[in-house]
Amino acid sequence: MAPTSPSASASYKKKDGTLAISSDLQSITWTPKNGSDSLLSLQTASVTNLQQTPVNNPKVMLKIFVQGPPGQGQSQESAAPVPYVFTFTSPSNARTEADAIKEALNTIIQNTKLAQMPTRDGTPTAPAAAAKPPWYDDNRLKADMALQQSLLNSNEGLKRVFAESLRTKPASVTHGQLVSQFWSSRIHLLRAHAIEKSQEQGAYNVLSTVKPRVEDKRRLNLSKEQIQLIFSQHPLVKKVYDENVPKVAEEIFWSQFFQSRLFKKLRGERITDADPTDSLLDKYLKYDENTGQPANEFERVPHLINLEGNEENVSQRQGNRPSFDMRPTPVDKVPIIRTLNSLSEKIMRNVAPADQHLANAENADREVYNELQLRDLREQEEQKRIMLNIRDQSRFFSEGNAGEIKKEQVVAKQDPTASLNMLRSDFSRTYIDTPQVKLSRLVEPEDGDSSDEEQSKPKKEPVGSKASLASAKSQIFGIIGQRKAQADPESSSSTCGLSQTIFDRLALTHATTTEFLTQFWNAFLSGNPDRASEIASMVESLNRAMDRINEVAKAAEAERQVELDKLKKHAREVMASTGRRIRLAEVDGGEKVVKQLMGPTINALSKATAEYQKALAQQTAEGQS
C-alpha cells in the first residue's frame, strides 16, 4: 500500500471542500463538503502553470492554469489557459499543505515536458519515470496528517509524548506551530513509517501454506487472495475451475480439489494407490501444468544441465554407471524437486533479472558455461620471481636496535688502558685498607645495601597475627556486602527504587522536557529575529518543565516517607511486644533518586536558561547604546 497522495482543505468560489491529487497522479480533484455542489476534476497533464501567494501573505492561495479548449480556427497549443483559484482554509497547516500540492504538481509538469521532448532522431522520448515517492519530500511528510496519526497509533510511547507536549504547551504557541516543530525533529520516523506502509507481501508457494478448513461441513475457509494466487501460479487449476464450477458448486469443487490427487501432484507429493480417486479431477492429471501460458514461456532447459538430452546425444553406457544424482530420473520418482523449480521460475519471472547480458538465447549456454567453469582445477601458473642474493643482510635490520648499536660504537672507541686505570683508581679509593677483595663483593651488594624500592614495599604480616586477621575480616565483609548489593532486587530494579507510577511519570516528564529543549535550541540557534517571541515562550515552557520535575521529586519523597513510616511503626510494634529493637532497613527512591536521574536534564535546562538570559542582556545593552 503506497503512502497517501497529498490533499488539503481548500475553498473554490467561496465554497469549502477538499483538494487532492489522485493516487495515479493523473488528475487533481476538488470535492465540496456540501454534496449538492458539483465536483471539479482537472487533468494534471493539462496543467500549464502555477502561481502561489507570497510567504508573508497570511492568505494562502494557489492558482492553477489549465489548457483551455481551442476556439474556432485555433489549435490546441494556441488556446488560452483557464485559471482555477483555490484558497487553503486549514487553520494551522495551510501554507504547508499548499506547498505540498504545488510541489507535486511541479513534478508532474516537469515529467510531462520531459516526455514530450524529441530525441535526436525526432521521435519522442519514453515517458518519464514516475514522480519520486512521497517519503523523499520532507514537506509532504510534515503535511501528511494521516501518516502522522498512523505513526502515533503504532508507537504508544511517541503518542504519550505528543499528547503531553500538547497539554503542556505555552499559550503563545499555536497548535499548528507545536505540531510542525514536533514532527520537524522526527522526519526520519515519518519516512521509515511511510516506507514500511508501502511494503507489500511478495508471491509465495500458496499450495504449501494453505490449510483449508471446512466450517459446518458446508463452507470452506479459503480467502479470496489465496484463490487468486492459486490461479496465477497454477493455470491448470484455473482451467479446471472454469470448466467445472458452473456445473459443480464452488464449495464442493474446492473441497474435492484439496482432497484429490491433482492437489498432491501440484504440491509435488508422490501419488500412491491409497489416495482417493476423483472422476472429476483425475482426468487432468496428465495435463501440463503450464496450460494456458504462452508458448514462448514454456520451460527451456539449457543444454549444459540437460542430463536427459546429453544422454541421448552422447551416450556413455560403457563402464560404471554415473552417480545417483547424475542420472536422468522420471518425473514420478522425485516430483517435488521439479515442482519447486518450476514454481520458483514462475515467481521469479516478475523479478528484474540480474543477468541482462544473457538475453540472447543463442549465446546463453556459452555464457553460462564460462561462468560455471571450475577455475580452481586449473594448474597453478608458475610464479616468476627475481632472486636477490645479498651477502650482508644485517644492515637491513639495524633500525630496530639502533640504541644497542650506538652503545657498541661508544665502547669500541674507548681505550682499554685508560678504562683499566680508571677502575684501579676507583678501587683504591673505595677499599683503602684491603689489598685483596672478592669479586662477589664488587658484583653483588651486601645485605645492608637495599634499594629505595625494597624499602617502600609494605611489610608482609605473618600468618595468624592480629593485623593479618583484621585484614582478612575486612576483606570478607566487603565481599559479603558486594554480593548482598548484587542480590538485592530493589538495587537492580529498573525503576531505581521508585514505584512504577512515579517512574512512568518521571519518564514522561523527561521526554516532554527533552522535546521542549529541542524546540528551544532549534529556535534559539536559527538566528531569526522574527522568532524572538517564540523563544521567550519556550523559556517559559522550560521553567515550567523544571517545576514539573520538582513536583515529581516531591511525590517520590512523599512516597518514600510513607514507606519509612510503615517501617517505624512495625519497629515500634515489635519493641512493644518483644522488647527487642530491630534495625530499620534502607528505603530507596525519594527526591534524591529523582534528582540523580534527572541531573543531566536539569543541567541542560539551566544551560538553556542561562544562554537565553545572556543573549537577552546583550541585546538589551546594544539597544540602550
Q: Which of 75, 68, 137 is nearest to 103 (CA)?
A: 137
List the grid coordinates of 109.
509538469
Average pLDDT over residues 256-285: 83
List the grid coordinates of 379.
594448474
* Higher per-residue confidence, 83 vs 623: 83
DSSP 255-306: HHHTTSHHHHHHHTPPP-TTSPP-TTTGGGTTS-TTTTS-GGGS----TTT-
Report pLDDT for 395. Answer: 62
DSSP 117-145: -B-TTSPBPPPPPPPPPGGG-HHHHHH-H
Average pLDDT over residues 13-29: 83
Report pLDDT for 127. Answer: 43
Q: Residue 197, SS3?
A: helix
pLDDT tens sequence across 493-535: 567 778 888 888 888 888 888 888 888 888 888 877 777 888 8
User: Residues 297, 300, 305, CA angle at the centre, nearest 5°?
Assistant: 155
Per-residue DSSP letter, 51 = E
Q: Which of 533, 530, 514 is nearest to 608 (CA)?
A: 514
Residue found by looking up cell 466450517 in the block = 215
Average pLDDT over residues 371-379: 65
Is the four-CA dihedral 297, 129, 83, 29 of positive or negative sign? positive
Report pLDDT for 295. Answer: 43
**74 backbone φψ class: left, alpha, beta (φ>0; ψ -120 to 50):** beta
Report pLDDT for 357. Answer: 52
Average pLDDT over residues 196-210: 79
* Higher per-residue confidence, 359 vs 143: 143
- Cβ atoms within 10 Å of 68's Cβ, excluding its own: 15
| pLDDT-based confidence at residue 489 (cuts at 50, 70, 90) | very low
Whether residue 316 is predicted with pLDDT greater than 80 in this model: the reply is no
User: Residues 315, 320, 322, CA angle at the centre, nearest 5°?
Assistant: 65
Mind spelling out the 3-state secondary structure of 71-90? CCCCCCCCCCEEEEEEEECC
Report pLDDT for 334. Answer: 64
